Structure 1
Amino acid sequence: MITSTRGAVRRPAAVLAASLLLVGCGAGAASTTDREPGANTTRAGAARPAPAPRISLDVAPRQLPGLGSGTWAEIPPKTSQVLVVTGRGRNSPLSTAVLHERTASGWHGGPGWPAHNALKGWTDRHRAGDLRSPVGVYALTDAGGLLPDPGTRLPYDHSGGFAIDGTGSGGEPLAGSFDYVLAINYNREPGTTPLDWTRPLGVGRGGGIWLHVDHGGPTQGCVTLRENHMKALLRAVRPDRRPVVVMGDAAALRR
């Protein structure tokens, strides 16, 4: 969109903002115990090799970098994929995204991907048209785009409804912004296409908050990544790992 819980067609300038809010990238909060294997023995008392360690997703071994205890507590215990989007400042449209994944040896973070968020930064109570992205922890369950599925395991809606034109706040072209989209479950119905307009919290709380392809400028509420990073993210996330996005300015995430 330009710029936890079940995005901008720009028409000639004055109409663009309203259109984006309705279609996507809009305004709009929803939001492991590793077992120590004991030594087994035979009846004769000879020690048997201990079973190989396995991942248990009931209790996480440690918090992720940059997250405070309050934010960490909002991440579902069974989640083993977390995309952390850290804003540069409360009122900044610039941020960095890192995908963290849990393996048998613990949590591991990938490279930092440059990202944009909303024009005016972040808010704890997003409202339609406020030009701020909602702070919080939100599930990632549904994807789609103007281009064919790049290989995601999530449900993917390949639709012409993701077509977009016009320009962003800096005059940058928006074409291709919705080639790949991953819906953020803020004020939406999980299990539906990102194009679904259902707003459980009411239209005043905005909606259509997506991860989508960066167009070179701020959004109206969405988070954007470069096209190659969006494709990598879509290919990486898996429903069985209960992926979530944790997003907000750095100070808010440390709470």
Structure 2
Amino acid sequence: MCRWLAYSGTPILLEELLYKPRYSLIDQSLHARMGVETTNGDGFGVGWYGTDGAATPTLFRGTGPAWGDVNLRELASTVTSPLFLAHIRASTGTPVQTTNCHPFRYGSWLWIHNGSIRDFQTVKRDLVFAVDPELYRTMVGSTDSEVMFHLALTFGLRDDPVAAVERMVGFVESVGRAHGVHDPIQMTVATTDGDRIFAFRYSSEGASRTLYFSTAVTALRELYPDNEQLQKISDETRIIVSEPLGELVGAWQPVPESSYGVVQAGPDILGDFHPRLP
């Protein structure tokens, strides 16, 4: 389906994660090891917040394969960010076009998704009609991922992100089952307001796509005291990925089934995810 990553911490060049690791996101666009598809070549995108503290993130998206885009490579070698989301797409049936490439943006918020709403064309009308009219006009693509984002916004993403995504999933499942769709939703999602990152792993069948978070930097320094890279980043630095970027033992922890996580200043949060009707 897709591969993605979310980063928060010491400002770094985008290329440090997009290109340099052994199993970087660009490598995964050609050689994904844990995805449904090995190749993810139906577009890409990165959304980042600047070091100047501006609330609105910048987007760069393209419809070609990420591995061959010279503009992405150029940008990644010059842009530094303390918080960014990146995504490589494998379409589940909607067109390959810029408006269907992740991240999706609304105000200060970004959203990326791996997975699908099953039989989307069957349930799409009911789902879209539930989007707040003020938000509806900002939907410009045709993907299930963008509809999920706008439903979450409708159900209160800006006020209580975890509860809003639980309501979104509960609503999608109720609509799907009303139409006779079995196991209506499959997802790993990351969303951010530029301050905190919220990540979710859930599927109706209880067999969700892979998702990992990086081990606390303080613990990794104890394991690898001679690792220079670990000395350069802050204790708050954290990465969430569809699949690990390298093979450093102990560096990556799987996100449990039906869970959510919050990356924030101070202690991060890992909790149980429970869909509910809005």
TM-score, normalised on structure 2?
0.26
Greater helix share, 1 or 2?
2
User: Which structure features the higher share of strand residues?
Assistant: 2
Q: Which of structures 1 and 2 has the larger relative contact order (alpha carbons within 8 angstroms, sep 6+)?
A: 1
TM-score normalised by length of structure 1: 0.27
